Amino acid sequence: MKKDAGLNRSVTSKWRPATQAVRGGTWRSEHGETSEALFLTSGYTYDDAETVAARFAGDEQGMTYSRLQNPTVAMLEERIALMEGAEACRTQATGMAAMTTALLCQLESGDHVVAGRAAFGSCRWLTDSLLPKWGIETTTIDARDNDAWKASIRPNTKVFFFETPANPTMDIVDLEYVCGLARENGITSVVDNAFATAALQRPLDFDADVVAYSATKLMEGQGRVLAGAVCGTEEFINETLLPFQRNTGPNLSPFNAWVVHRGLETLDLRAHRQSENALTVGKFVESRVPTILHPGLASHPQHALAAKQMKGFGPIFSFIVDGGRQQAMGLINALELIDISNNIGDTRSLITHPASTTHAGMSEEARDEMGVVEGMLRINIGLEDPQDLIDDLDKAFKKVGL
Ligand SMILES: *Cc1c(COP(=O)(O)O)cnc(C)c1O
């Protein structure tokens, strides 16, 4: 394997994220293939016993076992790190494997974690159920409130964990303030950047310490495989995360890594076009429903903050109808083009009722506090012609009396 055209990392790291997404960290085999090769192998062979001994001792570079390294996976990790502006990256089998690894690798009983309360349902399960069970205290706060972050710090606070925009309320967290506050207090900030990706927002540019991904979403972008990634400093990835990952094995399969490579080639195009389409459809939806939560619309209370830290507002927004669960479900049942699906980041437009799907596992009280009401719907806008999406929604709105 050799690096693309003999370019070294200091040259390739000058490229902008859109270039990195297509070319960053390319390794080519002796065949000089154009597209990234798929190395579907679990193990490796060696010329002699001394070579394998040297590799296990860390004296020689090279692959030994695919839970530790795989060329297709390593290529993806280098590419994501370069897109993100991170020193290093490791990938995992799913977004939840990435979040679990990013948190557990650095926490121990007696530590304290502060987390944004508006979060993906399983991320809330980590902070509400798993961590406390293992003796790690957690506090969930309104992550939009900078003072709440400051007030929640204790002597044993080790991690700030949040997503922005947050699922499904589209809360925006002030990256510069919250990551800066973490730095000042020796706390590690872990940002779940699934809704934006490096194409729309780079938390490390605002001093975040760790960026964690569900690559299943906008990054892969075509609804094919599950994947996750964690980016950070070389020290964090190699010394804190890697020992945990190597020995617990949440690894990404080479095949799925190869599919994510295919997604990254079009990430910049998709992220920007889907953001534009979401704004077009969002403006229509805004004219028909009492509440819309879309960081790209001037009606969003944090629109200015979103505009400051994002290059585009992403494909996802939520809206609320007055008629509760019945009207919300009636509306999505009346759609013909837009699919009922709880996935996001796909090139197809998808809609879901969070209270009965993605956030059904939470208590009603926690849902209410987060703002996930019965009349809320979350939509992912894809690459279809936005006028066809508007026509579909218009017909469904009329059917439920909106
Ligand atoms: C989907 C999602 C996850 C979990 O990712 P999986 O790949 O489904 O495991 C975590 N965080 C956010 C914000 C998500 O949207």
Is the domain spanning 2-37+70-264 CATH 3.40.640.10? The answer is yes
Question: Is-contact 328 321, C-beta < 8 A?
Answer: yes
- Which residues are within 8 A (CB) of 122 and not within 5 positions of it... i.e. 6 or more apart? 96, 99, 361
Q: Does any ligand 1 atom lie closer than 6 A to the CB of residue 167?
A: yes
Amino acid at 211: V
Instruction: Say if residue 165 is preceded by a cis peptide, omega within 30 of 0.
Output: yes
The band of 27, judged by pLDDT with boundaries at 50, 70 and 90, is confident
Q: What is the second-level CATH architecture of the domain 269-399?
A: Alpha-Beta Complex (3.90)
What are the structural domain ranges in the chain? 2-37+70-264, 269-399
Q: What is the pLDDT of residues 339-382, one digit of tens each?
A: 999 999 999 999 999 999 998 988 888 888 889 999 999 999 99
Statement: residue 245 has pLDDT above 50? yes
The residue count for the chain: 402
75/89 Cα distance (integer angstroms): 10
Q: What pTM was computed for the model?
A: 0.95
Q: Closest ligand 1 atom, CA of 345? A: 15
Ligand 1 test: best mutation among 173, 201, 216, most atoms within 8 Å of CB? 216
**Percentage of the chain lying above the pLDDT 70 cut:** 97
> Per-residue pLDDT tens for 203-240?
999 999 999 999 999 999 999 999 999 999 999 999 99
Looking at residue 34, the DSSP 8-state letter turns out to be S
Q: Is the CB of 192 under 6 A from ligand 1?
A: yes
Question: What DSSP string describes 142-175?
Answer: -TT-HHHHHHT--TTEEEEEEESSPTTT-----H
Report which ligand 1 atom has the smallest distance to the Cα of 96.
9
Pair 12, 20: CB distance under 8 Å: yes
pLDDT-derived band at 12 (thresholds 50, 70, 90) equals: confident
Shortest CA distance to 277 belongs to which of 316, 334, 335, 319? 316
- Mean pLDDT throughout 182-209? 98
Q: Which two tokens stand for residue 39?
A: 């190395």
